[in-house]
Every structure is written in C-alpha cells, then in structure tokens.
C-alpha cells in the first residue's frame, strides 16, 4: 500500500541527515578540548556545522508541520482517548513478548492507521514536544541576548543549555530505537525500502 508521499520521504531523508550531523557536532562541542579525540570535530568546526544544520532543521520542521496541516498525513498523529492506555499496554506486551513468540502485531499498518499506539505517542512527543524545545533552546543559545537572565536565581543560559542537552539526548535515544524498530517489518529491510519507494510491505507479503 502507498503510505509515504514524496514530500514526506524527502523530509525524512533531510531530517535524518540533519539529526546525525547535529548529534555528531553536538557531541564534538561537548567533548573536544586541547587534545581533540580522534573521532570528533574541532570545536570551531563543530559550532559551524551545528549552527548551519540547526537553521536547515528549523526550515525542515516548518515544512513538516505545514505538510501535516495541509495533507492527509496529519491524521496519523491525532491521539484518541478511547482505549488509549490499554492499547499502549497491548503494543508493549507485543514488543516485549508477543513478537518473539511469532504472534501477529495487534495493530497492523493500514491506510487509515500508519502507526501503532506506542509509535503514535512516541512520535507526537518527539515531533511536537521535544523538537520544538530543542529549536527554542537552540535559538536561545545561538542568540543569548534573547535568553532570560536568571530564573529562580539560576542563570537562564545554563538552564537553556541544560534543556537543550536533555532534549538532544532524548532525540538520540529515539533515533537508536527508531532504527531498531525499522527492522521489525515483514523483512528486516522492508520498512527501509518503504521509505524509498513509498509503499509499505505488509506482513502477509
């Protein structure tokens, strides 16, 4: 079934490249010193790469939000209250036990439901909570003059930096889990192929 339109696949590719650059350059800024580790960039280069990728990410994110507002793709991110927690428990039980027993996914991909309940919750938290906080805190670090001076007696810049690092860590963890779960399709490579072709391969194929 055709699930991934061209604009979404292009955004996904750009976003993946940007996130990898941001993680790598961010780690480089955090851990480089006078004796730079072999696998990290020099600090000045890391700052340039990080800032450039961040600007492109903001534009890319605006495109993602607009795409979800003005196309059918936005419906996949709408949360439903009915059976919310029970559906998440069912999906967690499948991931932790059921799939190792050869059971079928309780929430298979359809034209009306691209994400299972756990995926939907995770994607909403990452795309509409963590990413905006990363962008806002990143802008605060890029332009420290707009950051509040002190909050509850603590430097606003320090708190902004801390928020940026925490959200960046969560996105990094999400990326690792996301890559792993992408191997859980009908074949280990089927979900990766789907993001190239636009067509999802069902478990029956």
SS3 label, residue 97: coil
Q: ∠ at Cα 162 (160, 168), nearest 5°?
A: 100
| Cα–Cα distance, 189 to 205 (Å, whole number) | 13
| Cα–Cα distance, 146 to 123 (Å, whole number) | 29
Q: What's the length of the chain?
A: 205
Does the predicted TM-score (pTM) go above 0.95? no
pLDDT at 44: 87
pLDDT at 34: 59
E strands present in 44-175 = 150-151, 154-155
Domain borders along the chain are 6-197
| Cα–Cα distance, 141 to 20 (Å, whole number) | 20
The answer to whether 58 and 89 are in contact (CB under 8 A) is: no
Low-confidence ranges of the chain (pLDDT < 50): none
Which overall architecture, per CATH, does domain 6-197 show? Answer: Up-down Bundle (1.20)
């Amino acid at each position: 079934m055709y699930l991934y339109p061209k604009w979404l696949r292009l955004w996904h590719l750009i976003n993946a490249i940007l996130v990898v650059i941001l993680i790598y350059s961010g780690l480089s800024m955090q851990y480089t010193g006078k004796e730079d580790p072999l696998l990290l960039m020099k600090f000045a280069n890391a700052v340039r790469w990080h800032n450039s990728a961040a600007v492109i990410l903001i534009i890319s994110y605006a495109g993602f939000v607009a795409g979800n507002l003005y196309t059918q793709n936005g419906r996949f991110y709408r949360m439903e209250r009915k059976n919310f927690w029970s559906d998440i428990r069912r999906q967690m039980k499948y991931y932790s036990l059921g799939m190792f027993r050869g059971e079928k996914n309780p929430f298979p991909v359809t034209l009306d439901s691209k994400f299972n309940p756990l995926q939907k919750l995770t994607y909403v938290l990452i795309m509409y909570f963590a990413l905006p906080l990363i962008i806002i805190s990143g802008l605060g670090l890029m332009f420290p003059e707009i950051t509040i001076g002190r909050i509850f007696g603590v430097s606003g810049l320090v708190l902004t930096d801390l928020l940026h690092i925490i959200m960046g860590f969560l996105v990094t963890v999400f990326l690792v889990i996301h890559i792993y779960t992408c191997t859980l399709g009908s074949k280990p490579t089927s979900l990766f192929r789907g993001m190239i072709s636009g067509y999802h391969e069902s478990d029956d194929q």
